Structure 1
Amino acid sequence: MNFDLSEDEEMLKALAERFVTDHYDHDSRRAFLAEPTGFSAANWALLGELGLIAAPFPEDMGGLDLDATGIATVFEALGRGLVVEPLAEAAVLAGRIFAAAAPQELRDAWADALVSGEKRLALAHAEARGRGGLPWIETRAVQSGDGWTLRGAKPYCAAGAGADGYIVSARLEGEPGDAAGVALFLVTADAPGLTAREWHMADGSVAVTLQLDGVAVPANCRLEGDGFAHVASAQVMATLARCAEALGIMERMFADTIDYLRTRTQFGAPLGSFQAIQHRMVAQYAVIEQSRALLNLALVSWQSDDFANAVHGVRAFIAPACVELGHEMIQFHGGMGVTDELAVGGGHKRLLVLSRWPEDPLAALDRYAGVLH
């Protein structure tokens, strides 16, 4: 099996790595997280100029329609740089849902601004009583004249701060746990009746809680097709992106710890010379290699019936493994490891979020086992 990257994939990897090199260090990352949206608006505009925002979008919207290998390549590089801009949530998840389901009039109105980064969408789907990957939508959409009226709450809208619009799932009929009867709507951030309360996730990113009190949505802002199906399909690629990002973060934390163990001395010898520490580092190196092997298995399954299942398998392994690796790397750094003074602390916080969002890793394991669909 040939795992060499194509010319286009090498170019995208180089773009992502150059972006990290030119714009990221530990202090600048902390400054980006402190901004109101939890990331740098200037960096987001630059990602648009570089074409990295457009890349996951289909070609008819001006994107590159990246395949699985392209997505994984870009996000692993961004993970190594501990990049905070929400490409996975905005472009791979919300963007691809919009591209797949938006009616043509709405597509034409938003396409150019989305692929350039001028505008940004966020998915508002998860609800408070949703558990274990099972469908649960209480938010309701009622037909009103030529449009729709939405009522409900979306407490977990990741990367929602400063978004220009939200893709909101709402139930047209049935009970909250029914798999059918759910549609998606594009709700602009300035829609009357929509309120957004910002809050920080564990990694410092800014999510929002949306309250929809009689929000009027025009008929052409209802997305086409089955809401759950569109979200599930886009989540597969977003999950792949998150897993690749987690792998990049694991590699970065491991490399930083290797450097630390080679230079930090105790009892007159480098910490890395102690056999017990070497054994623990070798165990985590094996975890990284296992993660990469599972990611590669998913990549070679692209466009096959096994692809989604392979992605669920990657997440089921990486989600708990990356947190355990973070714990080990922090322990080797001692008390400094949990502070914001070192990249290892910030990396671990990001891994905590990736391991639990948008669902518990046990749900991915259930999907891999065929218990959930």
Structure 2
Amino acid sequence: MDFELSEEQRLLQDSVKRLLADRYGFEQRRAIAATPGGWGREIWAAFAELGILGLPFAEEEGGFGGGPVETMIVMEALGGALALEPYLTTVVLGGGFLRHGAEPALRAELAPCIAEGALLLAFAQTEPQSRYDLGDVATTARRDGEGWVIEGRKGVVLHGDSADKLVVTARTAGETRDRRGVGVFLVDAGAEGVSRQPYRTMDGGRAAEIHFSGVRAEAVLGDPEDGLPLVERVVDETIAALAAEAVGAMEAAHALTLDYLKTRRQFGTAIGSFQALQHRAADMMVHLEQTRSMAMYAAMMAGEEDAAERRRAIHAVKVQVGRAARKLGQEAIQLHGGIGMTMEYAVGHYFARLTAIDALFGDAERHLRQLSDAGGLVPAG
């Protein structure tokens, strides 16, 4: 199997990495994080100019016409730079719901706005009782004439404080944990009845608690009574993107650690000359390369139409990425010693982001249980 990037994909990779290297150093990131919004509008405009905000959309919709591999390339670069911008929420999550669930007219209206950097999206799914269960939805949507009215509360809505529109899961029928009866709705974040409480997350990003009180939805995405398969498909694609982001962050943390081992001196010599530390650095490389392989596998399987097969693959990816990222991050902190825990040094921030990636849409242990329940990556018989 050929894993080589095409010429066009290499150009995309080089362009994104060059932009981030020029404009997204660690000190620049710290300055961006300290702004009221917590991310850079100028960088976002540069992303639009480069064309990556329209990455998943068809060219006739003003997009790039890219697929999972192109998303992997961009997300790996963003992970290496610890980018704070709402790319995951707007382009990967929001773009996924538009591509798979929106009517053509709505997609044609919104996709160019996303590609131009003029529209931000966020996915409002998690609730106080739901934990990692995508189908555990207590927020309700009731019919009102030709439309839907939403009541409820969502938490940890990534970049929900700055989003222009929200993709909201709400129950249209059934009990709180029923698979059927979950709809996906597009809501204007500035609509009457929407209240947002923003805060900073542990990895330096932004999120919000959002309350909906008699909020009228703008559109339905997919089947309002059976929207969970749509949610699972988009989340599977997002987990594949997160795996690539983890590779970028792990690679950067590993490079920082190697550099520190070569320059930090103890007992009159560089600590990297000690064999025990060399072994630990080598183990970090193993974790990195295993994760890189699984990120490629995730990109291959993200578009799989067989939902059961795709979900098994994504469960396996999440297990490997979560465990390897945690182990590599812990080693990076320990090999740096005290400086690794300071806010002034980058490696601790990489560990924080890797920890957040493990928790997003279910940690490694949850996905291991789900993979076991599904009969393993390759079911017997």
TM category (shorter chain) comes to over 0.9
- Name the structure 1 match of 2:279: 279
Whether contact under 8 Å (2:166, 2:187) holds in the other structure is: yes
Matched, 1:142 2:145: no
- Name the structure 1 match of 2:14: 14
Matched, 1:351 2:354: yes
Whether contact under 8 Å (1:202, 1:352) holds in the other structure is: no
- Name the structure 2 match of 1:206: 206
**AA paired with 1:36?**
P
Secondary structure of 2:183's counterpart equals strand
Whether contact under 8 Å (2:90, 2:114) holds in the other structure is: no
Describe the shift of the 1:300–1:186 C-alpha distance in structure 2 as closer, same or farther (beyond 3 A).
Answer: closer
In 1: Cα distance, 2:205 partner to 2:191 partner: 24
Q: Does 270-279 or 307-316 show the bigger shift? A: 307-316
Whether contact under 8 Å (1:134, 1:372) holds in the other structure is: no
Describe the shift of the 1:112–1:68 C-alpha distance in structure 2 as closer, same or farther (beyond 3 A).
Answer: closer
In 2: Cα distance, 1:283 partner to 1:105 partner: 51
Q: Does 173-182 or 61-70 show the bigger shift? A: 61-70
- Name the structure 2 match of 1:360: 363
- 1:64-122 residue CA offsets vs partner (Å, 9 max, x unmatched): 33222222122112211222212122101112102221234433432221121111111
In 2: Cα distance, 1:65 partner to 1:135 partner: 31
Describe the shift of the 1:127–1:82 C-alpha distance in structure 2 as closer, same or farther (beyond 3 A).
Answer: same
Matched, 1:224 2:222: yes
Count of matched residue pairs: 371
Describe the shift of the 1:17–1:189 C-alpha distance in structure 2 as closer, same or farther (beyond 3 A).
Answer: same
Whether contact under 8 Å (1:58, 1:99) holds in the other structure is: no
Q: Report deviation, 1:36.
A: 2.6
In 2: Cα distance, 1:183 partner to 1:134 partner: 12
Describe the shift of the 1:155–1:303 C-alpha distance in structure 2 as closer, same or farther (beyond 3 A).
Answer: closer
- Name the structure 2 match of 1:239: 239
Structure 1, unaligned runs of 5 or more? none
- Name the structure 2 match of 1:331: 334
Q: Report deviation, 1:303.
A: 4.7
In 1: Cα distance, 2:124 partner to 2:149 partner: 16
Whether contact under 8 Å (1:61, 1:115) holds in the other structure is: no
Whether contact under 8 Å (2:140, 2:150) holds in the other structure is: yes
Matched, 1:215 2:215: yes
Describe the shift of the 1:174–1:372 C-alpha distance in structure 2 as closer, same or farther (beyond 3 A).
Answer: farther
Describe the shift of the 1:254–1:136 C-alpha distance in structure 2 as closer, same or farther (beyond 3 A).
Answer: same
Describe the shift of the 1:199–1:138 C-alpha distance in structure 2 as closer, same or farther (beyond 3 A).
Answer: same
Whether contact under 8 Å (1:57, 1:92) holds in the other structure is: no
Describe the shift of the 1:256–1:168 C-alpha distance in structure 2 as closer, same or farther (beyond 3 A).
Answer: same
In 2: Cα distance, 1:109 partner to 1:73 partner: 27
Q: Report deviation, 1:344.
A: 0.4
**AA paired with 1:223?**
L
Question: What TM-score, normalized by structure 1, do the two folds share?
Answer: 0.94
Whether contact under 8 Å (1:37, 1:205) holds in the other structure is: no
Whether contact under 8 Å (2:52, 2:64) holds in the other structure is: no
Matched, 1:318 2:316: no
- Name the structure 2 match of 1:28: 28
Whether contact under 8 Å (1:150, 1:170) holds in the other structure is: yes
In 2: Cα distance, 1:134 partner to 1:125 partner: 7
Whether contact under 8 Å (1:57, 1:96) holds in the other structure is: no
Whether contact under 8 Å (1:57, 1:91) holds in the other structure is: no
Secondary structure of 1:142's counterpart equals strand
Q: Report deviation, 1:44.
A: 0.9
Structure 2, unaligned runs of 5 or more? 377-381
Whether contact under 8 Å (1:295, 1:311) holds in the other structure is: no
Alignment RMSD, CA only? 1.9
Whether contact under 8 Å (1:140, 1:170) holds in the other structure is: yes
Q: Report deviation, 1:307.
A: 4.3
Secondary structure of 1:259's counterpart equals helix
- Name the structure 2 match of 1:174: 174
- Name the structure 1 match of 2:379: none
Describe the shift of the 1:297–1:121 C-alpha distance in structure 2 as closer, same or farther (beyond 3 A).
Answer: closer
Describe the shift of the 1:298–1:101 C-alpha distance in structure 2 as closer, same or farther (beyond 3 A).
Answer: closer
- Name the structure 1 match of 2:343: 340
**AA paired with 1:124?**
A
Q: Which has the higher contact order (CA 8 A, sep 6+)?
A: 1
In 2: Cα distance, 1:234 partner to 1:78 partner: 20
Q: Does 197-206 or 68-77 show the bigger shift? A: 68-77
- Name the structure 2 match of 1:255: 255
- 1:278-311 residue CA offsets vs partner (Å, 9 max, x unmatched): 1111111111121122223334446554444323
Whether contact under 8 Å (1:164, 1:188) holds in the other structure is: yes
Matched, 1:129 2:132: no
